[in-house]
Amino acid sequence: LFMSSGLEAAGSDTDILLMTGILGESVTFPLNIEEPEQVINIAWNSETSVAFVTPGDPGTAPKVTVTHQNYNDRINVSRQNYNLEISELRMEDSGIYKADINMKTLETTVTTTRRYNLQVYRRLGKPKITQSLMTSVNSTCNVTLTCSVEKEEKNVTYRWSPLGEEGNVIRIFQTPDNQELTYTCTAWNPVSNSSDSISALQLC
């Protein structure tokens, strides 16, 4: 009962809800069960088993059995709607999660499956702009600027203003006419963004 049987489709509830989490913070998987008194049990699985949830005594929180040591002391379940929260998120928590919800009806037991795709990201630190490959001809200087974050992450995009260019490397042809400009690189990921700037006067 605690073991994952794979993440193949079960029944008609095959939509996967994309969830975004922040390293070290919490994420809540919404079940939003409207009739919590009808719940028999809920089995959560990911790459490993996660937790097994059963109703508590009337008026008390559900009973949660954490079924893998990676989730010890990090699982909470809402009394109102059985939503499951994972706290102190780790990068390795990313992946597919499945909840098999067993509920009683008047005549039988019905199992509903919900699926979630959790992606955990770090908040980005301040990026750093470095310059290289400077050449100068007739008071025009050709500079390559590189923007990078300290720990290279997945799904990081870079945008330069006022140029409007994307990518972490740009080439600038600096003339005396635009020495008042300030070039700003903004790094983005799904949970944060951060910027660094350099004055054109610093380039040549």
Q: What is the pLDDT of residues 61-110, one digit of tens each?
A: 899 999 999 999 999 999 889 999 999 999 999 999 999 999 998 889 99
The whole-number pLDDT of residue 10 equals 37
Regions of the chain with pLDDT less than 70:
1-14, 133, 152
- Same fold: 16-121 with 128-202: yes
**Structure token pair of residue 171:** 């080439």
Q: Which pair of tokens denotes residue 55?
A: 């109703």
Distance CA(178)–CA(136), nearest Å, equals 15
Largest pairwise CA distance in the chain = 88
Residue 149's Cβ-side half-sphere holds a number of Cα atoms within 13 Å equal to: 23
Overall fold of domain 128-202: Immunoglobulin-like (2.60.40)
Tell me what pLDDT residue 99 has: 98
Work out whether strand 109-121 and strand 16-22 pair parallel, antiparallel, or are unpaired: parallel
Domain ranges of the chain: 16-121, 128-202
- Could you tell me the pTM of the whole model? 0.78
- Sign of the dihedral defined by the CA atoms of residues 128, 134, 137, 139, in that order: positive
> Tokens 């923007």 appear where?
147
> Considering the domain 16-121 in this protein, what is its CATH number?
2.60.40.10
User: What pLDDT score was predicted for residue 133?
Assistant: 67
Q: How far apart are CA 172 and CA 45, in angstroms?
A: 51
**Confidence (pLDDT) at 12:** 42
Residue 6 exposed, middle or buried by CB count within 10 Å (0-12, 13-18, 19+):
exposed
pLDDT at residue 132, as a whole number: 86
Q: 185: part of which helix (H) or strand (E)?
A: strand 182-189
Q: How much is the pLDDT for 6?
A: 32
Give the pLDDT confidence score for residue 8 in this predicted structure. 35
